[in-house]
Amino acid sequence: MVLGTGGTIAGAATAGAGHLDYRAGSVAVGQLLAGLPALQDTTLVAEQVAQVDSKDMGPALWQALAARVAHWLAQPDVRGLVVTHGTDTLEETAWFLQRVLAPQRPVVLTCAMRPATALSPDGPQNLADALAVAAADGAQGVLAVCAGRVHAAADVAKVHPYRLDPFSSGDAGPVALVEDGRVRLLRPWPVGAPTPGLAQRVSQVQAGAWPRVEIVLSHAGADGRLVGELAAQGVRGLVVAGTGNGSVHEALEAALLEAVAAGLPVLRASRCLEGRVLPHGGDRLPAHPLSPVKARIDLQLQALVAS
Ligand code: SIN
């Protein structure tokens, strides 16, 4: 089963002359599969869930995608799923699906850095690798496959805007490699238990009713004015992308503590590309171990459950 959501993997050249002149999310997922060699013992079914540039991904689309993923995972003859996706927000969609569904079978997101119409597209190989991972014995959880590397949803991040292997799992490293169609496991497949009732709660959210959670950045010269403005606008939570081990400029921290005192949930993540915030006894703002964009998803889901 392959679900299409768009991205550069489904990109097609537009009238411009440069390599980057293409529109993401143009080629149907069924067409992407048509270019692959037939797989033994596997029937591939394609479903177009969306056709977007993933910079425009959002909770309504995540909700639709989670529903389709849950539907297909409930079919006993489906061994695993592949989802084609743009690279830009792939790590966020992966974490959303992992948190909401925590699947016991593999849900493999894959992508490309070159459009389908490029001279040498990377999408077909990534798609073939993703299918190999979806069929691998014991594979489970939400995974991302790109350039022969398999990443867990919790660890994966896009770290480069252009190169063909733009993802990193930081200190954790990839879960597996795909070598000539064979999956070589480097560490255990990610495990996770679904939060009771969460998938159902997500499926019930009405359009426009997703809790608003924003990210504020701690940087040299940061102050708390943005926090006050966001609180006044009715945000349901804030993530602060702190420096280093989640440290926060004193002026910004004062504003965040004031918001917490007024009942606004705040999580503290790190803007560092690698590593995790280590919590300490005296922390005044709770630490989150994942990246700010993933912490934002957790806080959004938390606000949803609380509402
Ligand atoms: C997108 O994220 O949809 C565009 C960029 C890409 O897929 O690499």
* Whole-number pLDDT of residue 35: 81
Region of poorest pLDDT, from 19-28, 48-57, 113-122, 262-271: 19-28
* Whole-number pLDDT of residue 38: 76
% helix / strand / coil in the chain, to the nearest 5? 30, 20, 45
Measure 151 CA to ligand 1 centroid, in angstroms.
17
Answer whether residue 64 shows pLDDT above 80.
yes
Q: Rounded CA gap, 161 and 106, in Å? A: 27
Give SS3 for 67.
Answer: helix
Average pLDDT of the residues of the chain: 95
Answer whether residue 17 shows pLDDT above 60.
no
Q: Is 8 a catalytic residue?
A: yes
| CATH no. of 211-306 | 3.40.50.40
Q: How is the chain split into domains, by residue range?
A: 2-185, 211-306
Instruction: For ligand 1, pick from 32, 49, 53, 167 the residue to mutate: most ligand atoms within 8 Å of CB.
Output: 53
DSSP state of 167: E
pLDDT tens, residue by residue, 127-149: 999 999 999 999 999 999 999 99
State the CB neighbour count (10 A cutoff) for residue 245: 15
Q: For 238-245, what is the mean pLDDT?
A: 98
pTM: 0.97
**Backbone phi, psi, residue 294, to 5°:** -80, -35
Region of poorest pLDDT, from 14-18, 72-76, 168-172: 14-18
Q: For 47-70, what is the mean pLDDT?
A: 98
* Whole-number pLDDT of residue 244: 97
pLDDT tens, residue by residue, 172-213: 999 999 999 999 999 999 998 989 999 999 999 998 999 999
Among residues 5, 8, 87, 89, the one annotated as catalytic is 8
Q: Rounded CA gap, 188 and 168, in Å? A: 17
| CATH no. of 2-185 | 3.40.50.1170
> Of ligand 1's atoms, which has the minimum distance to the CA of residue 8?
7
Percent share of the chain, pLDDT over 90:
92
Q: Rounded CA gap, 274 and 124, in Å? A: 29
